[in-house]
């Protein structure tokens, strides 16, 4: 058993990586990995021809069960951060979300369980479809279709040519980077002089106007809200490069951003759950 445990440890990091991308929660991913170990400890490991594939299959099925169980429970409304497990490390969650990409986690969270599993295994871990099919309980052809539908959701439908999307993403990244660090000069460099900020009333302090104009006013406001910016990442928002604020991979705010002549000309902060649910969020090029 000690030798088996040591062998399992050599696979733990890979299994955790798979589970986190499927579940979007480090605590749940760790639980899935632990359940995989328990199942391994109950079988004769000598009868397992390919341990890596066996473990990947088991952890994937455990994750699929978790995703299906989520669908049967009342969902946390879009825009509301779910309770984090008491044993979850917020800094670890932050690092994991940054390594995977918050926009990707937001999109994955919107997929059907089988679509998410098929996409994660094939597109992120290069698992063949003939191995994915029995995990999701579908044919190989259907497993390919599941991943294809998920891939389309992840990529979205950009409204602009790819070169413009890439350019706009650079502007949005510069805007977010300056906001995170409270860099007033950096914000003024990336904001148009007559930039307009529009916000849902719930996102601004009482007495703050929902529409603000002018680079200095908008930049100073962004500096004050720098703490929230650490959870922001570029995303395609209804086909244009914007941003999502997604602590622990759950969508709380979206920024619809207009970039003109290499600067942010206008952005809208969207927080209303009904509006967020209607947005098409995707991963920018």
pLDDT tens, 147-200? 999 999 999 999 999 999 999 999 999 999 999 999 999 999 999 999 999 999
Q: Map out the domains of the chain as residue ranges.
A: 2-155, 162-282
CATH annotation of 162-282: 3.10.450.50
Q: How many CB atoms lie within 10 A of CB 177?
A: 15
- What are the backbone angles phi and psi of residue 61, rounded to the nearest 5°? -70, -35
Q: Where are the beta strands (DSSP E) in 154-210?
A: 191-199
Residue 229's pLDDT is 82
- Residue 96 pLDDT: 77
The DSSP symbol for 123 reads I
108: which 2 tokens?
């994955």
Tell me the C-alpha distance between 277 and 258, whole Å. Answer: 21
From 38-47, 122-131, 222-231, the region with the lowest mean pLDDT: 222-231
Average pLDDT, the chain: 90
The CATH number corresponding to 2-155 among 3.30.230.10, 1.20.140.160, 3.40.50.620, 3.20.20.450 equals 1.20.140.160
The pLDDT score that the predictor gives to residue 86 is 46
At 236-279, the pLDDT tens digits run 999 999 999 998 788 999 999 999 999 999 999 999 999 999 99
Q: Say how far apart CA 225 and CA 206 lie, in whole Å.
A: 15
Structure tokens at 195: 């930039």
pLDDT over 50 at 104, yes or no: yes
Q: Which residue has better confidence, 19 or 76?
A: 19
Separation of alpha carbons 195 and 266, rounded Å: 5
Total residue length of the chain: 285
């Amino acid at each position: 058993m000690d030798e088996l445990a040591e062998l399992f440890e050599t696979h733990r990091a890979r299994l955790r990586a798979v589970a986190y991308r499927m579940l979007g929660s480090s605590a749940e991913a760790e639980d899935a990995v632990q359940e995989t170990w328990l199942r391994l400890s109950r079988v004769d490991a000598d009868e397992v021809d390919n341990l890596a594939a066996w473990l990947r299959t088991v952890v994937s099925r455990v994750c699929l069960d978790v995703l299906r169980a989520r669908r049967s429970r009342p969902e946390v409304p879009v825009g509301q951060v779910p309770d984090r497990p008491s044993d979850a490390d917020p800094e670890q969650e932050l690092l994991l979300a940054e390594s995977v990409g918050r926009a990707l986690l937001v999109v994955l969270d919107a997929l059907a369980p089988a679509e998410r599993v098929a996409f994660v295994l094939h597109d992120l871990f290069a698992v063949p479809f003939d191995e994915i099919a029995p995990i999701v309980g579908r044919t190989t052809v259907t497993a390919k279709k599941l991943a294809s539908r998920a891939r389309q959701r992840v990529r979205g439908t950009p409204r602009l040519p790819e070169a413009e999307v890439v350019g706009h993403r650079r502007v949005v990244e510069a805007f977010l980077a300056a906001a995170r660090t409270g860099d007033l000069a950096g914000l003024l460099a990336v904001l148009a002089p007559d930039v307009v900020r529009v916000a849902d009333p719930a996102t601004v302090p009482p007495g703050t106007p929902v529409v603000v104009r002018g680079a200095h006013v908008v930049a100073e406001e962004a500096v004050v809200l720098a703490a929230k910016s650490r959870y922001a990442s570029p995303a395609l928002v209804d086909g244009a490069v914007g941003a999502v604020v997604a602590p622990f991979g759950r969508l709380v705010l979206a920024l619809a951003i207009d970039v003109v002549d290499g600067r942010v000309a206008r952005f809208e902060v969207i927080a209303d759950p009904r509006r967020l649910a209607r947005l098409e969020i995707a991963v920018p090029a």
